[in-house]
């Protein structure tokens, strides 16, 4: 994910309670991103289940991550109400 702007959030999951979602800016295919993350050596419980490329990662006016906006966008992209 070097050189990419990204944010990680969670969405509800009926089986596990919640799942980790990665929203990122870039041209990489989501399957490729998830594959690279799996190969990185992080414990599986810390890896996102879903990854979505976005036009712009949600940010606040200060330039910090907008976690409320990211969660809302992740839910929309994952098809969760």
Q: What is the CATH number of the domain that holds 14?
A: 3.30.300.30
Is 32 within the bounds of a domain? yes
How do residues 6-30 score in pLDDT, each as one tens digit?
999 999 999 999 999 999 998 899 9
Task: Provide the number of structural domains found in the chain.
Answer: 1
Is 44 within the bounds of a domain? yes
Domain around 71: 6-78
Cut 0.75: pTM above it: yes
Could you give the CA distance from residue 46 to residue 79 in angstroms, rounded to a whole number? 22
Could you give the CA distance from residue 38 to residue 17 in angstroms, rounded to a whole number? 21
Is 1 within the bounds of a domain? no
Is 41 within the bounds of a domain? yes
pLDDT at residue 2 tops 90: no
pLDDT of residue 1: 67
H helices then E strands: how many in the chain?
A: 2, 3
């Amino acid at each position: 994910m070097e050189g990419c702007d990204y944010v990680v959030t969670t969405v509800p999951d009926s089986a596990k309670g919640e799942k980790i979602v990665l929203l990122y800016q870039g041209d990489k295919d989501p399957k490729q991103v998830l594959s690279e993350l799996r190969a990185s050596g992080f414990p599986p419980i810390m890896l996102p289940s879903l990854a979505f490329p976005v036009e712009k990662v949600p940010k606040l006016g200060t330039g910090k991550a907008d976690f409320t906006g990211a969660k809302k966008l992740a839910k929309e992209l994952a098809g969760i109400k």
